[in-house]
């Protein structure tokens, strides 16, 4: 399989699942009458899946991580306010969450991404691609495959200018490039021999949606 073929499969079966996950936060925010309260902050931090972060130690996690993180996000000044760009929002989130246990740079990115869609004028990554954890594994795997999939090599960094991806990832937005690399990081280490069925199994594990019902994402499209 080639990289363009894998990207087309992603766009067809997975991209809306990613958007639906963000949409869940927006729907909860609307249900709470557009107030950024502790429940919304809770969902923003770990997407409603707190029990998966520290298995079997939820109460310790709640005390050491969730409650301090909620407090940090809810403290003044209001984090729901205009930002010049996503990078400024990411900086604000990382400054607030930096000293908290079990919080890492990937969480900064996820939280900033979710908050970005809650703003009156939503913002999301445009100029930069944030590559952490699984996403870096996926990018590194593409570089190591026996077939050359990328037009150039990438140094080991966590944030790249999106222009470096344009020739290989075409019109995918920054956040979809990161999601593609993360979701398929195991399959990308043998992409040349990978099958469509393998990619679909991986997407089934992460969740797939072709349509989003009751969407409040300001008619945001994936293309």
pLDDT of 161 reads 92
Among 34, 210, 39, 46, CA closest to 113: 46
pLDDT of 12 reads 78
pLDDT of 222 reads 38
pLDDT of 23 reads 73
Over residues 101-115, the pLDDT tens digits come to: 878 888 899 899 999
Over residues 68-95, the pLDDT tens digits come to: 999 999 999 999 999 999 999 999 999 9
Q: Dihedral of the CA atoms 114, 117, 120, 123 (nearest 10)? A: 110
pLDDT of 61 reads 64
Please report, for the chain, the start and end positions of each structural domain, with discontinuous segments joined by +: 3-19+128-206, 24-116
Q: Which two tokens stand for residue 192?
A: 């040349």
- 13 touches 198 (CB < 8 A): no
Phi-psi region of 56 (alpha: psi -120 to 50; beta: other; left: phi over 0): left
Query: Cα dist. 212→43, 48, 203, 218 in Å?
Result: 19, 18, 16, 12
Among 138, 146, 147, CA closest to 202: 138
Residues of the chain with pLDDT below 70 are: 14-20, 47-62, 146, 204-223
Q: Sign of dihedral through CA atoms 73, 75, 76, 80? A: positive
pTM for the whole structure: 0.81
pLDDT of 207 reads 52
Specify the DSSP element, H or E, that contains 29.
helix 15-31
């Amino acid at each position: 399989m080639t990289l363009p073929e894998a990207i087309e499969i992603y766009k067809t079966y997975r991209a809306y699942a990613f958007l639906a996950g963000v949409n869940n936060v927006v729907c909860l925010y609307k249900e709470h009458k557009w107030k950024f309260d502790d429940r919304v902050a809770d969902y923003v931090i770990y997407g409603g899946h707190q029990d998966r972060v520290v298995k079997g130690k939820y109460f310790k996690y709640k005390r050491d991580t969730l409650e301090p993180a909620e407090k940090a996000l809810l403290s003044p000044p209001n984090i729901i306010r205009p930002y010049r760009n996503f990078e400024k929002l990411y900086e604000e989130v990382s400054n607030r969450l930096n000293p908290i246990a079990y919080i890492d740079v990937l969480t900064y990115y996820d939280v900033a991404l979710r908050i970005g869609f809650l703003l009156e004028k939503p913002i999301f990554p445009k100029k930069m691609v944030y590559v952490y954890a699984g996403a870096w594994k996926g990018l590194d795997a593409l570089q190591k495959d026996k077939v050359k999939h990328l037009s150039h090599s990438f140094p080991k960094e966590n944030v790249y200018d999106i222009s470096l991806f344009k020739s290989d990832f075409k019109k995918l937005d920054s956040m979809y490039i990161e999601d593609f690399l993360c979701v398929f990081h195991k399959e990308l280490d043998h992409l040349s021999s990978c099958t469509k069925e393998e990619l679909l199994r991986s997407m089934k594990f992460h969740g797939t949606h072709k349509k989003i019902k009751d969407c409040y994402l300001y008619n945001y499209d994936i293309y």
